[in-house]
Amino acid sequence: MKWKVAVPGGLSSPIVAGDNLVLTAFDGGKLYTIAYRRADGKEAWRADAGAKQIEPYYKPEGSPAASTAATDGERIVSYFGSCGLFCYDRAGRELWRHELPLAETMAGFGSGVSPIVADGLAVLVRDVMQDPKIMACDLSSGALKWETKRQSPTSFCTPVVWDTPEGKQIAAPGFNKMVGYDLQSGEERWFVEGMPSSICA
């Protein structure tokens, strides 16, 4: 073992971003994106999301810091159901934030979806009881590029990007069906019914 350090609570997976490992955490009632140096495990930086309220979550096994961050190698995007999307550079400087209302999920389980980064976009599926949608923000500016309504009141799925003959699409499972969206426009291209009512793929 090269090193081992204690970290705050959370359920995200660490990601590699340059010389750091980055994860999300819930500590002392606050939500953070935290970077640790790959060389020795020392904390490099910590960014407070500044959540005004913490979303309901399943306290025995859950966490309001359940989402894994995403990176294009230069920018790091974090999501918290309590407050929204955040983008940092590799030194921990906040580049932009896209605030969102408190997530309300079925039975108060809490958010279980992570953002993805593809072709200069930060894409987020937000399947919540009120106003479920999939959205994409420009990775450089944080400006909302597109937003498409969904009919999925709750799911816990991180979408994937795949190449098709018609261009890149996002496959996003959800309540009862999986839907394919055009990556650049957010337009729905196809769907497959028969998904579970509470999908956690």
Place of tokens 């509470």: 198
pLDDT tens digits along 5-56 = 999 999 999 999 999 999 999 999 999 999 999 999 999 999 999 999 999 9
Per-residue pLDDT at 199: 85
* 168-195 average pLDDT score: 96
Phi, psi of 79 (to 5 degrees): -130, 135
200: left (phi over 0), alpha (psi -120 to 50) or beta: alpha
Per-residue pLDDT at 197: 82
Strand partners, 119: none
pLDDT tens digits along 74-119 = 999 999 999 999 999 999 999 999 999 999 998 899 999 999 999 9
pLDDT band at 201 (very low <50, low <70, confident <90, very high): confident
| Element at 102 (helix H, strand E) | none
Per-residue pLDDT at 196: 87
Per-residue pLDDT at 198: 80
User: Reduced to 3 states, what is the DSSP secondary structure of residue 107?
Assistant: helix
In angstroms and rounded to an integer, the radius of gyration of the C-alpha atoms of the chain is 17
pLDDT at 121 over 90: yes
pTM score, whole prediction: 0.95
Those residues whose C-beta lies under 8 Å from the C-beta of residue 142, and which sit 6 or more positions away, are 85, 87, 95, 96, 97, 98
Half-sphere exposure of 163 (CA within 13 A, CB side): 1
